[in-house]
Amino acid sequence: MMEKTEIKKEMETLKKELLATKKNTYATLGADELEASYDYAKGYMSFLDAGKTERECVYSAQKMLEKEGFKPYTFGMKVSAGEKYYYNNRAKSFVAFVVGSESLENGVYFTASHIDSPRVDLKQHPLYENEGIGYLKTHYYGGIKKYQWTAIPLALHGAVTKKNGETIDVVIGEDENDPIFYISDLLPHLAGDQMKKSLGDGISGEQLNLIAGSRPFGDLAEKDAVKLNVMKLLNEKYGIIEEDFLSAELSAVPAFKSRDVGLDRSLIASYGHDDRVCAYPSLTALIEMEAPKHTVMAVLADKEEIGSEGNTGMQSQVYFDIIADLAKALGASDIVVRANSKCLSSDVNAAFDPNFPEPMERNNCCYINNGVVITKYTGARGKSGSNDASAEFCGYVRRVLDEAGVIWQTGELGKVDAGGGGTVAKYIASKNVDVIDLGVPVLSMHSPYEVVSKTDVYMTHKAIKAFFEA
């Protein structure tokens, strides 16, 4: 018979050896790495404030990389080891890479994240007037809870191509002295009927109309005088006319800046963490690659929130055209290159929210401050639409992260049958590339103001760097 104290001792040993434990970053990281996390957040927050649309993120990324010696890539170029390039795809998606010293046929090690976020886009004929108020009509982009977009300050971002072919950038509402745009909601006193509706029906898509003015042209309250005055002001500022809305991409996004959350400043609130919180670490990790062994690449894709469609979405051929073109330049077979390539589909996951525990399965969801999250499969209703990475590739990534001292966790998007979602992973897997999802846990995902943890963001940078260096 074993003594009780002996049993206890053995139990402790076995627990340590056999059972998995959750790792909180604050219980695991040293003071230097915690400090590094908070420092790293500063650069990330500037990136967030500078880029609220995919166009602006492409611009920021290009600026960041040009400073680090990256040069524009054009198809058919000669390239050699150690050289750094970026490819700006129609100002809306972006690829950057460093040519490795090894044969390209050993594979390209790349990340794929997206730089579009849910928002409220202007329609083609947006401007109208109703009872003396000038409005801009919208069609929302991506999965939003419509009621969250009312009664908050909104800024207008985008580009307009005029009839003469000139494209101008528009940003209204970010400067403290700028006016903002606004979607009104009903006062509670009169919202009896509205409050009986479901949250999903309380505000309809056609009610997401932005207030753009209320002062008539010439102070004469005539029909369409407010609309005319709004148009006149836009014309004065940007030289555009009403017809130019037809060739424009204008989006209303939250006018908030990113802010620290909590007295300890451990968290960051911002619009558009999904998925700039993975795009930014991909860029910073790439910047730190001096003379890598493998060719390493960061893909910042557009249109993930609407199905990765279009020539700037992840389903576009352009990303694999670049790989094929590199193969050609380096005398490699692009079939072999893809077969040996590895990818982190770098996207966010839903963090467990103690305020909303119901849709989460506590053993398998991810947690704030538990590090970067590996998501083996996404999908809905029986993993439908999921990439579902192989045991071998999961094992590989796990090994790489452990060896680099990265704090990581796994996560599944909520309970089975609670809902679901997808990422770009499956489009990359279909090209015969090993791919797994890896990213940052997010609270209030797809809301106008999402929240992430500084240590988780930093662990994502470290994870991607380790993957590039492996």
Contact set with Mn ion (CB under 5 A): 274-275, 347
Q: Cβ of residue 113: shortest distance to Mn ion, in angstroms? A: 8
Cα angle 275, 279, 284; round to 5: 150
Q: Cβ of residue 142: shortest distance to Mn ion, in angstroms? A: 6
Give the pairing type, strands 434-439 and 342-345: parallel
Q: Cβ of residue 314: shortest distance to Mn ion, in angstroms? A: 11
The smaller minimum CB distance to Mn ion, of residues 330 and 451, is found at: 451
Q: Cβ of residue 446: shortest distance to Mn ion, in angstroms? A: 6
Q: Cβ of residue 296: shortest distance to Mn ion, in angstroms? A: 22
The smaller minimum CB distance to Mn ion, of residues 274 and 456, is found at: 274
Element housing 434 (H / E): strand 434-439
The smaller minimum CB distance to Mn ion, of residues 249 and 275, is found at: 275
CA distance 164 to 340: 47
CA distance 134 to 242: 13
Nearest residue (beta carbon) to Mn ion: 275
Q: Cβ of residue 274: shortest distance to Mn ion, in angstroms? A: 4
The smaller minimum CB distance to Mn ion, of residues 75 and 356, is found at: 356
Q: Cβ of residue 398: shortest distance to Mn ion, in angstroms? A: 22
Interaxial angle between packed helices 454-469 and 391-403, expressed in degrees from 0 to 180 and rounded to the nearest 10: 110
Which residue is listed with tokens 């609220």?
Answer: 52
Give the pairing type, strands 259-261 and 408-410: unpaired
The smaller minimum CB distance to Mn ion, of residues 413 and 466, is found at: 413
The smaller minimum CB distance to Mn ion, of residues 274 and 325, is found at: 274
Rounded to the nearest 5 percent, the helix, strand and coil shares of the chain are 35, 25, 40
Find the length of the chain.
470
The smaller minimum CB distance to Mn ion, of residues 274 and 302, is found at: 274
The smaller minimum CB distance to Mn ion, of residues 347 and 412, is found at: 347
CA distance 343 to 352: 26
Which residues is 88 bridged to in the sheet? 94
Cα angle 368, 64, 166; round to 5: 115
The smaller minimum CB distance to Mn ion, of residues 275 and 334, is found at: 275
Q: Cβ of residue 384: shortest distance to Mn ion, in angstroms? A: 18
The smaller minimum CB distance to Mn ion, of residues 56 and 347, is found at: 347
- CB neighbours of 248 closer than 8 A, spacing ≥ 6? 122, 158, 159, 160, 161, 240
- DSSP letter at 352 equals P
Q: Cβ of residue 258: shortest distance to Mn ion, in angstroms? A: 17
CB 147 within 8 Å of CB 191: no
The smaller minimum CB distance to Mn ion, of residues 275 and 412, is found at: 275
Q: Cβ of residue 417: shortest distance to Mn ion, in angstroms? A: 20
CA distance 53 to 439: 20
Helix residue ranges, H only, 294-377 = 318-329, 334-339
Q: Cβ of residue 278: shortest distance to Mn ion, in angstroms? A: 8
Where does 44-92 show beta strands of DSSP type E? 71-72, 84-89
Sheet-wide strand order for 342-345: 71-72, 84-89, 93-98, 295-301, 108-114, 342-345, 434-439, 372-375, 408-410
CA distance 143 to 305: 7
